[in-house]
Structure 1
Amino acid sequence: MRAETIVWIVISFLILFLTWETIKPVLTPVIFALTIAYIFYPWHKNLAEKIGERNSGLVLTSLLAILLMLFVLGFALWVNGVKSYLALYLDVFFKWLLNQNLPPSLYDVLQRVANDILRRFEDYLQAYTYSLPTLTLQVFVLIFTFYGVLLNAKAIEKEIYEILPSEKRDLALRLIRKGEETLNMLLRVWLAFSVIKGTSLALAFLIFGIANVSGAIAAGIFTLILELLPVVGGWMIWLAGTVYLFQGGKTLLAILFALYGFFLVSPIPDYLLRQKITPSKIGVNGIIALVGIFGGLFAFGAVGIIIGPVTLGLVATLIEEWKTITEKER
């Protein structure tokens, strides 16, 4: 019996190892697909009531496929320019940050973070620059995973609830609901909100003639990253664009661009929209956001921007819920 148990343990570990080696090359597009599917699922439910589950999935997947194919085309055309502009923006940002009379210990930490981010970002983009077929393959994996998750969301949810332990089932259900609230805030509000802001500012950079296509895309990406961080935000990017226009003698354009950024990027949207669509009892702790983004980025690459804060946010939520339940039982 003991030998049989050992054999089954070895077989189980072998299966897990082979499974991991199989999914590891496509783990990044799968995680992105799950994230996008989670964000779009409410729209899918509403659309499915009108045209059916399968047609709704096809419509949303087709829309995503078009956007991703445009992304691949843009990546091939502008990747080098975007890489150069992002390196320039990051270099200027960290030079400004490091000149703010910071404590020596904090200065050293930020200096190391700045160097590490620039190096990792360069390596990440360079890996895809010379391997567009790999990027295209990952895009196809993302599209098909997205479609499969949308169509099988109810079955996936049913399976999750069926594997819950019979003992303490109420506790597990409360933890799941609390975790779902956190995911709603982190993905459908926090992350989606940042993506919309980054896209809006990228278009503004292009329309107002502040940068070319590569520079505008880089500004949008940088805005998205800053919006995910506590304290700082997209206002730093539109403020820099405003200063650039003023220095170029384009006073009217500078004023219009500043108004655009103030009302459509930051801070007005934060006050008018975020408070309405985010429950007041749910929030992202600044430390959790900061540690999650940078820790996830260093550990998992670009996809870590999603994995890090979402994981830490869920852990913090589960701990708080567990403490509340334990106090009630006592």
Structure 2
Amino acid sequence: MELEAAVWIAISLIILYLVWKTVSPILSPIIIAITIVYIVYPVHERWSKRLGNRGSAFLLTAILTVLTFLFIIGFALWMNDIKHSITTYLNAFFQWLLSFELPQSTYDLLQKLLEDLGKRIDAYVLGYTYSIPKLTLQAVVMLFVFYGVLVNAKGIKNEVYSLLPGENRELAIKLVNSATSALHNLLRGWLTFSVIKGISLALAFYFFGLANAGGAIAAGILTVLLELLPFIGGWIMWLAGAVYLFESGMVGRAILIALYGVVFVSPGPDLVVKPRLGIERKVGVNALISLLGIFGGLVAFGLVGIIIGPVALSLMETLLEEWKRTKITRTNAG
């Protein structure tokens, strides 16, 4: 009996290893596809009432297909410009931070972070600039997964809950709910809202003549990242642009971009739109956990780490709370 169990364990491990080797090269597009499904699912539910489940999924997939291949074309045309612009913006931002009276440990940390970010950006660009076919293949995988998950979303959800263990089912449900809550706050809250802000800032930089297409996209990307930081946001980007225009003698443009930034980037949307959508900016320990999850995940897993990191820390937080609750219960019972 023990021999039979050992054989089945060995077979299971071999199967898991083969599955992992098969899936790992395309894991990023799979995670991205599931992420986009989660973001657009409320739209899918509304459209399904008129177009049916498959019709709505097909239309959303068609829209995503157009956007994806426009992204690939833009990636091929502007990636080097984007890289140089991001490096320039980051250098300027960190030099500004380092101009303050900072403790030596903080100064060293910022210097190290700047070096690591530069190396990582170069690695991403070199990894994809010369492998557009690979990027296209990943895009195709993402689109197929997106359609499949969107069509079968309800079935997948039921299947996940059916696989939860009978023992400790309550804890398993708490973990699922914790992951769902983290995804909701991250994707439908911060990420969607910040991407809209980034697009608004990129359009402003381009049409006000602050940067070419690549530089404007880079400014938009940094706006999204700056929205992660407590007490800091996209206002830094439009303020820097306004100061540059003002010092260049273009006072009218400087005033216009400042007004545009206040209304469409920050703080206007934070004061008017966020409260209506129920999006709250995290502060204190929650903000620190979010930052650790996002930046730690980014370093460990690449871009998809922005999603994996916060969810992993959220699950750990749930486990710790359950452990404390169990310990208190046992202490009281004793």
Instruction: Report the counterpart of residue 251 of structure 1 in structure 2.
Output: 251
Q: Write out per-residue CA displacement over residues 266-296 of structure 1, whole angstroms, 9 at most, x where no aligned residue.
A: 1121122222323669878221122112211
Aligned residue type for 2:277: I
Q: Write out per-residue CA displacement over residues 197-242 of structure 1, whole angstroms, 9 at most, x where no aligned residue.
A: 1111101111111111011011011111111233321111111111
Instruction: Report the counterpart of residue 314 of structure 2 in structure 1.
Output: 313
Inter-CA distance 168–313: structure 2 relative to 1 (3 Å threshold): closer
Q: Does 1:289 align with 2:290?
A: yes
Inter-CA distance 321–232: structure 2 relative to 1 (3 Å threshold): farther
CA distance in 1, matches of 2:150, 2:326: 33
Q: CA deviation at 1:168?
A: 4.5
Please state whether the residue corresponding to 1:210 is helix, strand or coil.
Answer: coil
Please state whether the residue corresponding to 1:285 is helix, strand or coil.
Answer: helix
TM-score of the two chains, using structure 2 as the length reference:
0.92
Aligned residue type for 2:98: L
Q: What are the residue-to-residue correspondences of 1:202-281 with 2, within 5 Å?
A: 202-278=202-278
Instruction: Report the counterpart of residue 54 of structure 1 in structure 2.
Output: 54
CA distance in 2, matches of 1:115, 1:281: 29
Question: Which deviates the most, 233-242 or 315-324?
Answer: 315-324
Please state whether the residue corresponding to 1:245 is helix, strand or coil.
Answer: helix
Work out whether residues 58 and 147 of structure 2, in 8 Å CA contact, stay in contact via their aligned partners in 1: yes
Instruction: Report the counterpart of residue 6 of structure 1 in structure 2.
Output: 6
Inter-CA distance 8–328: structure 2 relative to 1 (3 Å threshold): closer
Inter-CA distance 279–98: structure 2 relative to 1 (3 Å threshold): closer
Inter-CA distance 321–269: structure 2 relative to 1 (3 Å threshold): farther
Q: What are the residue-to-residue correspondences of 1:1-330 with 2, within 5 Å?
A: 1-278=1-278, 285-317=286-318, 319-320=320-321
CA distance in 1, matches of 2:289, 2:281: 16
CA distance in 2, matches of 1:73, 1:281: 35
Aligned residue type for 2:138: Q
Question: Which deviates the most, 45-54 or 313-322?
Answer: 313-322
Q: CA deviation at 1:49?
A: 0.8
Q: CA deviation at 1:22?
A: 0.7
Work out whether residues 229 and 289 of structure 1, in 8 Å CA contact, stay in contact via their aligned partners in 2: no
Inter-CA distance 171–7: structure 2 relative to 1 (3 Å threshold): closer
Aligned residue type for 1:88: T
Aligned residue type for 1:308: G
CA distance in 1, matches of 2:167, 2:262: 52
Aligned residue type for 1:263: V
Structure 2 gaps, min length 5: none
Work out whether residues 289 and 313 of structure 2, in 8 Å CA contact, stay in contact via their aligned partners in 1: yes
Structure 1 gaps, min length 5: none
CA distance in 1, matches of 2:220, 2:155: 37
Please state whether the residue corresponding to 1:228 is helix, strand or coil.
Answer: coil
Aligned residue type for 2:153: A
Percent identity among equivalent residues?
53
Work out whether residues 36 and 146 of structure 2, in 8 Å CA contact, stay in contact via their aligned partners in 1: yes
Aligned residues: 330
CA distance in 2, matches of 1:298, 1:266: 27
Please state whether the residue corresponding to 1:28 is helix, strand or coil.
Answer: helix
Aligned CA RMSD, in angstroms, stands at 2.2
Work out whether residues 171 and 322 of structure 2, in 8 Å CA contact, stay in contact via their aligned partners in 1: no
Q: CA deviation at 1:74?
A: 0.4
Inter-CA distance 72–281: structure 2 relative to 1 (3 Å threshold): closer
CA distance in 1, matches of 2:293, 2:281: 20
Question: Which deviates the most, 306-315 or 15-24?
Answer: 306-315
CA distance in 2, matches of 1:77, 1:111: 31
CA distance in 2, matches of 1:282, 1:201: 23
CA distance in 2, matches of 1:303, 1:159: 24
Inter-CA distance 170–8: structure 2 relative to 1 (3 Å threshold): closer
